[in-house]
Structure 1
Amino acid sequence: MATFATSDQLLVIIDPAARQTDGESVRIAKDVLSAGAAAKLCLPEGPEEFARALDRRGSRRPVVIGDGRALVRAVTLLHRQRELAGCALSVVPVGDTALAESLGVPGGAVAAARAVLDGAERRLDLLVDDSDGVVLGALGIPPAPGRAVAARPVPIASGRPWYRSLVRTLASRPARLPAVPSPCAARLRVEVDGRTVVDLDQPVVTVSVTPGTDGVASVEVRPLSVGAEATPLLASGRSVTVTGADFRYRADAAVSGPVRRRTWRVAEGAWGLVLPAGR
């Protein structure tokens, strides 16, 4: 595990979404990093400028200030340039911090920036799919449904007789309770290292795949059950293939698809993330 000195030169790429979401955390992170190292700041306005800044990093260590999408973008760019193995990434999470924190990065701007300066590189596994997409933290099929939109309240009655009559009629009706959504089942074939875990004749509620640190991914399949909750099917392996009718999937923070077949393979120790020493 490589450790870093505060004298290292840094390329600090500040994602535009982070500047809009939490400018104060961005400012704090910049101050801590600039006080502890020679830091060159880049403020890209979009994905193309983000890619150019990362491509021109030279010998500087790249530091991404942004959310999970910004981190995935950086890893994807380096992976497709085949430069991921020789580049240790750092991140100061701003905005949605869930992905970075799940990987071991501190959530606060100060703690995360200190980890950039004083931390150590840890090699992590990566899921790479057959379209050259990457998964850092977790893969979910199908994606979790969005939140329901709340209904607007009925306005207070005005002085018009017809309006008061309408409101009384609506109020006299029994309130409709929102329907409880049934599990969203899908018919998928899930294969791990060529072995079928579940086939198309068994509807499933969810499939989750998580890369580890030893070249093996953990797979959990939850079949649809009537009555008691079904026992999840567990498997592990180096490749996972899912086949089904136009399914979507969530890779980290992004939803992709629909596709009818996708294979993910584990790339062992494919990328390096700077974490607090000892983690």
Structure 2
Amino acid sequence: MHKDATRGRTEVSDHDQLLVVIDPVARRLDGESVRIVKDVLCAAAEAKICLPAGNEEFARAIARRGSRRLVVVGDDRALLRAVGLMYRDHRQNGPGERALSLVPVGAVQAVELARSLGVPTGAVAAARTVLDGVVRRLDLLVDDSGGVVVGDLRIPAIPGTVGAASAAAPPSVWSACRSLVRTLVRPAPPGAPVPTQRLRVEADGVMLTDLDRPVAGVSLRSHDGRAEVVVRTAEGDRLTADAVTVTVSGADFRYRADTVVGGPVRTRTWTVRPGAWGLMLPPS
């Protein structure tokens, strides 16, 4: 559903023409913050307000944004959807200079990624950044299925997989997901066996670890055009590398890309795309 909110301007620059896409979760959880954001933006710019009912309408709104500057009002999941859609558009139609603006709305834990990127989490401050901020070009980690990672990617071992990866029948998808989430948010109690899995990790073609050496976890993060790779072994060693392309393979494994759990997969390759997207941030 769309609604135009204009102030009767006869001449408006591209910078002042906004498409404000308000995620339905934000509208449901914090309608007051959403109202404040709309008031601030519509008072200072020509803003087209879009209220998608779900992910499909969200995607259509972004695809049809035209020359308007995109503003997403929502949590980290809404941010990741928008970045993924804009990256796919970048691949199809060539790079564009337009940046994404974000107004974080959601529970504290649901906007941690936005905060880590430097976006103000207050409704008024974030809306002012939309209007007066500066664009910062940021890297992406892009996998071979088209998925994107803005912040951290982690591959933890799932509890119950100590030792060989093929020791038992695989758990159900639901139980595996629950185990993965527990592993990501709560450390193992002292004295508990360290879960491991057998993975091959290659950084720019150089093998960091092979299937004969169980690992307790793998993490990736893009920075300055490279991926920072950390492999934690069962013995407590920490293997590190900087690379453009990282390939992980082995028995079925799951991973957490920002807030999204992916897999199971047998192999996955992530590649750094330097400056692949722009985010509006407060002036330094």
TM-score range, shorter chain: 0.7 to 0.9
2: CA distance between counterparts of 1:106 and 1:61? 19
Partner of 1:134: 148
Write the letter of the residue equivalent to 1:135.
V
- Which of structure 1's runs of 4+ aligned residues deviate more than 6 A? none
SS class of match (2:53): coil
Write the letter of the residue equivalent to 1:275.
L
Contact preservation (8 Å) 1:190, 1:241: yes
1:264 paired residue among 247, 251, 270? 270
Larger RCO, structures 1/2 (Cα 8 Å, 6+ apart): 1
2:181 paired residue among 121, 143, 146? 146
The question of 1:184 aligning with 2:195 is answered: yes
Report the Cα offset of residue 237 of structure 1.
0.8
Report the Cα offset of residue 57 of structure 1.
1.0
The question of 1:100 aligning with 2:114 is answered: yes
The question of 1:78 aligning with 2:89 is answered: no
Partner of 1:157: none
The question of 1:248 aligning with 2:254 is answered: yes
Higher helix share: 2
Once the two structures are overlaid, the 10-residue window that deviates more, 110-119 or 259-268, is: 110-119
Contact preservation (8 Å) 1:7, 1:38: no
Report the Cα offset of residue 261 of structure 1.
0.3
Compute the TM-score of the two structures, normalised by the length of structure 1.
0.80
Report the Cα offset of residue 106 of structure 1.
1.2
Partner of 2:30: 22
Change beyond 3 A, Cα 1:181–1:46? farther
Contact preservation (8 Å) 1:18, 1:94: yes
Contact preservation (8 Å) 2:14, 2:69: no
1:67 paired residue among 75, 78, 101? 75
The question of 1:193 aligning with 2:204 is answered: yes
1:121 paired residue among 135, 143, 149? 135
Percent identity between matched residues is 62
Compute the TM-score of the two structures, normalised by the length of structure 2.
0.79
Report the Cα offset of residue 272 of structure 1.
0.6
Change beyond 3 A, Cα 1:17–1:84? farther
2: CA distance between counterparts of 1:120 and 1:94? 21
Contact preservation (8 Å) 1:7, 1:36: no
Write the letter of the residue equivalent to 2:136.
R
Once the two structures are overlaid, the 10-residue window that deviates more, 29-38 or 194-203, is: 29-38
Partner of 2:164: none
Write the letter of the residue equivalent to 1:28.
I
Change beyond 3 A, Cα 1:40–1:180? farther
Report the Cα offset of residue 147 of structure 1.
4.7
Gaps of 5+ in 1: 149-177
Gaps of 5+ in 2: 1-12, 158-178, 184-188
Report the Cα offset of residue 79 of structure 1.
1.5
SS class of match (2:269): strand
1:43 paired residue among 46, 51, 54? 51
Contact preservation (8 Å) 1:6, 1:118: no
